Structure 1
Amino acid sequence: MALLTPQAVSRTGLTPTYSAAAASTTVPCGERIWLHVKNTNGSSMTVTLTSTAVTLGQATVDVVVTVPATTGDKMIGPIAPGLFAGAVDGACAITYSSTTSVTVAALRI
């Protein structure tokens, strides 16, 4: 899995750099970490953030976000450690139903 490095949003502005989505990626967890996903494909797609949290002995559900076709654009977050931190690396595991014409940036506000 490729690790997305969050880019810091600043008062002077940020022009984010987007990467082509891979089948699976990780991003560091944090209350100020967000994903920006863009989809220019002719079909909608989904982004799944794997939940690692347990409530009352029950695993919580993954977060699944649908990104619309053609001009789809979604901000997803925050990537809260209490919901998404992996046991080994503390990062959130992310999968994409399609990677064709999909770009993503991790942002820190």
Structure 2
Amino acid sequence: MAILSAQSMPLSGLQPTYAPAAGGGDQAPVGEKLVLHVRNGDATSKTVTIATPGTVGDLAVADAAQTIPASGSAFIPLKAAFRDPATGRASITYSAVTSVTVAVLQLP
């Protein structure tokens, strides 16, 4: 499991650095204006799941899942609802990691 760091995006723009998605999952900071950019360079779709550790009453809140199409990408907000109380970060898993790269972006 890799711990991803946020890359600040200045008003002039950013050419982000991407890391390979980790087979055991990744952890990322959460907060306002933080997004996870996932790029799928593979010929098959991949699903990215972010654990939602909260509950409403006695019911668990469903995890957030986003399907990334083949050769596609997605931006996923990293809101405070994804904060794991043990680590303070979001826990991210992938259905497969072949040709998947990720970056956490801090928007201005």
What are the Cα deviations for residues 19-53 of structure 1, in whole angstroms up to 9, with x where unaligned?
Answer: 11112000011121100000010100000000011
Distance 1:37 1:99 in 2: 11
Partner of 1:43: 44
* TM-score, normalisation: structure 1: 0.93
Residue in structure 1 matched with residue 62 of structure 2 by the alignment = 61
Unaligned runs of 5+ in 2: none
TM-score w.r.t. the length of structure 2 is: 0.94
Give per-residue Cα distances to partners, 1:43-98, cap 9 Å, x unaligned. Answer: 000000000111122110000000001x2110111x111x2111211100000111
Match for 1:45: what amino acid?
K
Are 2:31 and 1:33 aligned? no
Identity of aligned residues (%): 40
**1:10: Cα distance to partner?**
1.0
Provide structure 1 residue ranges, at least 5 long, that are not aligned to the other structure. none
Hey, what's the Cα distance between the residues in 1 that align with 2:32 and 2:56? 19
Aligned alpha-carbon RMSD (Å): 0.8
More off after superposition, 60-69 vs 23-32: 23-32
Structure 1 runs (4+) deviating above 2 angstroms are none
Q: Is 1:10–2:13 an aligned residue pair?
A: no
Q: How far, CA to CA, are the matches of 2:43 and 2:50 in structure 1?
A: 23
